[in-house]
């Protein structure tokens, strides 16, 4: 599948991108090559490939200990808020 000039114009409009006429042809070619490459990847037979449960199979990943390192400052932060009630921040209603 290759993209047409109209396809790229529609994509640019949806993405709110301003593409000049001189840049448009370059994008048509580049995006078409990307789509062809993805189609080529999709055509590869992966039925014999076993899914990986973890990228480091057979290895261990060293992680730091899960310990609290900072004290709770919730009340201090709520003092600076324009409005707070019952431990929650009050914000203006934006949807009616």
pLDDT digits (tens, 9 = 90+) for 31-89: 999 999 999 999 999 999 888 777 777 777 788 888 988 898 988 999 889 989 998 99
Q: What is the Cα–Cα distance from 35 to 37, expressed in whole angstroms?
A: 5
Q: What is the pLDDT of residues 30-46, one digit of tens each?
A: 999 999 999 999 999 99
Residue of 70, 78, 5 lying closest to 87 (CA atoms): 78
Output b/e per residue, 68-82; b: 16+ Cβ within 10 A. Answer: eeeeeeeeeeeeeee
Q: What is the pLDDT of residues 3-22, one digit of tens each?
A: 899 999 999 999 999 999 99
Q: Where are the alpha helices (DSSP H) in 1-96?
A: 5-14, 21-42, 74-80
Are 33 and 25 within 8 A, CB to CB?
no
Taking the whole predicted model, whether its pTM rises above 0.85 is answered as no
Spell out the domains of the chain, with CATH numbers in brackets: 5-42 (1.10.20)
């Amino acid at each position: 599948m290759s993209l047409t000039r109209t396809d790229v114009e529609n994509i640019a409009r949806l993405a709110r991108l301003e593409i000049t006429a001189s840049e448009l042809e370059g994008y048509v070619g580049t995006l078409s090559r990307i789509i062809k490459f993805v189609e080529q990847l999709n055509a590869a037979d992966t039925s014999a490939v076993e899914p990986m449960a973890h990228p480091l199979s057979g290895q261990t990943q060293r992680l730091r200990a899960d310990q609290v390192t900072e004290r709770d400052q919730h009340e201090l932060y709520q003092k600076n808020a324009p409005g707070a009630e019952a431990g929650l921040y009050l914000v203006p209603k934006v949807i009616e």
